[in-house]
Amino acid sequence: MDIKEILNSLHTKIKSLPHQGEQATYIPELLTVDADRFGVYVANLDLTGIGVGDYEQAFSIQSIAKVLSVSLAYQLCGESIWSRVGVEPSGTAFNSLLQLEADNGIPRNPFINSGAMVICDILITALDDPKEDFLTFVKTIANNPTLSYSTQIAESEKEIGYRNIALCNLIKSFDNLNNEPDEVLDFYFNLCSLEMSCEAVAKLFLYLANNGTCPISGTDVLTLSQSKRINALMQTCGFYDESGEFSFKVGLPGKSGVGGGIVAIHPDQYAIVVWSPRLNAKGNSYKGMLFLEEFTSLTEQSIF
């Protein structure tokens, strides 16, 4: 079968499976999304692509945005960012307070919530207008001036973000934030509220399949070395305490979000995005994980 046949066949097969998992109940606005949505898009380096299902429907990318924020921080500040956030898998939930306490306020990696907050703090210090400048950064890479934050989703997260507030204050207590927790949290909630379609995310993330340069806009986002390191982080840390499982079964660098999206990268070839809102017990898209496992098995395309 060719890629189009594989995508269509897998989409039909996995969409028909009995529903398992639940939407992220701790962000009320995400519960307004139709849980049966299911989209997939593969973007190739030559900018050709194939989509099936709800691949044109915008969704909240949530923690997928953490890859973009750490990419900008890496671009602006270089290797110094790793003195404040680690590069190791967490082995615990994405919002663990215990691990942060044990590690004296240094988050294990930039993809857990505490790590993303430290990256936000770095960007607040480095940028004149952090929220607007970050959005401009994403718009430029994507060559899409219409991208924006979702005010409803950001506010929904703020209303019930008690654990994130606790994490942020704990980091501050260890002197690993230079700015005030309220400012860091506001930026964090907004960047996670970005809304994009499977197609838009896949094309945007081609910079990590193309040695740091985005084929859509021609933007040099990262150096070759930096791109390699962000891919390595996604391989080992992109799925919280299910990262090993994803690496074992799928064999690609990737990043998930609790909005139900997953992006995965095959360096020098493509970026693929799957979106299905129901999450498994680890907080990753249930059908998205199944789809990508079967996709790399049928195509025989992984990095291993």
More confident residue, 76 or 26: 76
Confidence at residue 95, expressed as pLDDT on a 0 to 100 scale: 78
pLDDT digits (tens, 9 = 90+) for 138-172: 999 999 999 999 999 999 988 888 999 999 999 99
Confidence at residue 93, expressed as pLDDT on a 0 to 100 scale: 74
Q: Answer yes or no: CATH 3.40.50.300 is held by domain 3-299.
A: no
Name residue 213's beta-bridge partners. Answer: 220
Tokens 């215990």 correspond to what residue? 98
Q: Is the dihedral of CA 139, 67, 23, 286 positive or negative?
A: positive
Confidence at residue 171, expressed as pLDDT on a 0 to 100 scale: 98
Q: Is 250 left (phi over 0), alpha (psi -120 to 50) or beta?
A: alpha
Tokens 């799957």 correspond to what residue? 274
Active-site amino acid positions: 63, 66, 188, 240, 258
Closest CA to 197 of 32, 28, 39, 16: 39
pLDDT digits (tens, 9 = 90+) for 182-225: 999 999 999 999 999 999 999 999 999 999 999 999 999 999 99
d(CA 249, CA 242): 11
Are residues 271 and 286 in contact, defined by beta-carbon separation less than 8 angstroms? no
Read off the pLDDT band of 94 (50, 70, 90). Answer: confident
Are residues 254 and 272 in contact, defined by beta-carbon separation less than 8 angstroms? no
pLDDT digits (tens, 9 = 90+) for 258-300: 999 999 999 999 999 999 999 999 999 999 999 999 999 999 9
Instruction: Give the percent of the chain with pLDDT over 70.
Output: 100
pLDDT digits (tens, 9 = 90+) for 228-251: 999 999 999 999 889 999 999 999
Instruction: Report whether pLDDT(24) > 90.
Output: no
User: What are the DSSP E strand ranges found in the chain?
Assistant: 39-44, 49-53, 59-60, 195-196, 254-256, 261-266, 270-275
Confidence at residue 1, expressed as pLDDT on a 0 to 100 scale: 63
Listed by start position, the domains of the chain span 3-299
d(CA 43, CA 23): 26
d(CA 142, CA 14): 29
Tokens 């519960």 correspond to what residue? 31
Name residue 254's beta-bridge partners. Answer: 264
Confidence at residue 33, expressed as pLDDT on a 0 to 100 scale: 94
